[in-house]
Structure 1
Amino acid sequence: MAIKVAICDDVPVLAKAIEELLLEYDSSLFEIDIFYDPLRFIEFLKGNTYDLFILDIEFPTRSGIEIAETIRQNNYTCPIIFITSFKEYMEKAFKVNTFDYIVKPVTKENLYPALNRAIKYLDIDDSKFMFTFNKVFYSLSFREIIYFEKNKRRVLIHTPSDTYETMLPTRALLSKVNDNFVQVHTSFIVNVRYIKQISHNTIVANLNDKQTVEIPMSRKFIEPARKQILMKLRDLI
């Protein structure tokens, strides 16, 4: 499965240089689109999305931060890597859930470690969570699923854009998910990628760029769950 990458930089020679570095990294891994005009790119994003974004921050008409804000309206978890000449943008950049931040010039030495992390984060090889409800078949990427909510055999599957339902016992559900999911309560199994905060007996997870949800951790699961979550988060950073 190829990673769909969008590069947005109004300096064509710089955008092409980033593309060449990506192709040199692995020419078979990436599908790359280049955009030179941030306004046209924002319009294009209304009906399209990518797995990975590499954005310049400084444009004459629009900042890369504004592009990221548009991306985050529909895609809260995709990696965004900012390219800039100035470190003073760093604080604003991380407010839009920036994955990484590279100060020009872009080289193998500063881009490839960010790509390594992004590829690991995207978990490109992960399989789908497949289920049926009311005789309709569904297939969701594990990356789309924030958490599962159990009530006996009934399972609610929460994603950033929708909630699905199926019937499945807990043991069968746990056997189907990948190792980014941690059971924190008899009724809740959470994707660690969405976890924002861990407190004494609750987890706060991101639903989107503006909303979060508080998920309880039960006494039975709290210690092993906290250890699993911290280990997984360390692996993803």
Structure 2
Amino acid sequence: MKIALCDNNQKDMGTIEKTIQLHTSQQYEFDFFTNGEKLVRHLNEIEATYKIYFISIEMTEMDGMALAQQIRTFDLEALIIFIADNNQRIPEVFKVQAFDYLLKPIDQNDLLETIDRANNYFNAIQAYFEFSFNRKLVVLTMSEIIY
């Protein structure tokens, strides 16, 4: 699963990566970005998408809310998790369907709980529908079903 970490504080990004790598069994691929412009440029250049975005809400130039709004223009399914120094901007994050809002310094238990919920969410949307047709078992993921 691909995760984008966007924060101008490299120590915080390293803490997130290290905690997730050490305490979860699932394999994750991390990409680091020091500002929103670099992340947007990367997304546009190689048409990459991520399942999870950890975004610092307080960044210079392009703040986390502006970045999340840009992400939502082309990706409505990714989970956006904001990281912030305080809880003043919590009401704003609902406008971009944020998955969570973690306060710095990031508590290891809170981070792992968020990752567990994210995995449960992805497992739930990967549900499948099973039926028989002409004596053959057909299995479709829910995302494959149109109507």
State the alpha-carbon separation in 2 of the partners of residues 90 and 171 from structure 1. 47
Residue matched to 2:67: 67
- AA matched with 1:55: I
Larger Rg: 1
Check 1:32–1:128 CA distance in 2 against 1; reply closer, same or farther (3 A cut).
farther
Which of 3, 6, 13 is the equivalent residue of 1:5? 3
Check 1:100–1:125 CA distance in 2 against 1; reply closer, same or farther (3 A cut).
closer
Considering Cα pairs closer than 8 Å and 6+ residues apart, tell me whether 1 or 2 has the greater RCO.
2
Residue 86 (structure 1) aligned with residue 86 (structure 2): yes
Q: What's the TM-score, normalizing by structure 1?
A: 0.53
State the alpha-carbon separation in 1 of the partners of residues 108 and 11 from structure 2. 16
Which of 10, 14, 17 is the equivalent residue of 1:16? 14
Q: SS in structure 2 opposite 1:176? A: strand
Instruction: Within 5 Å, give how 1:23-172 maps onto structure 2.
Output: 23-26=21-24, 28-46=26-44, 47-123=47-123, 126=126
Q: Which protein is richer in strand relative to its size?
A: 1
Question: Which deviates more, 53-62 or 117-126?
Answer: 117-126
- Partner deviation per Cα, 1:182-226 (whole Å, 9 max, x = no partner): xxxxxx85xxxxxxxxxxxxxxxxxxxxxxxxxxxxxxxxxxxxx
Question: Structure 2, unaligned stretches of length 5 or more?
Answer: none
Identity within the alignment, %? 26
Instruction: Give 1:25 shift.
Output: 2.1
Instruction: Give 1:99 shift.
Output: 0.7
Q: What's the TM-score, normalizing by structure 2?
A: 0.82
State the alpha-carbon separation in 2 of the partners of residues 80 and 35 from structure 1. 15
**What RMSD in Å do the two structures reach over aligned CA positions?**
2.9
- AA matched with 2:54: I
State the alpha-carbon separation in 1 of the partners of residues 69 and 23 from structure 2. 28
Instruction: Give 1:176 shift.
Output: 3.1
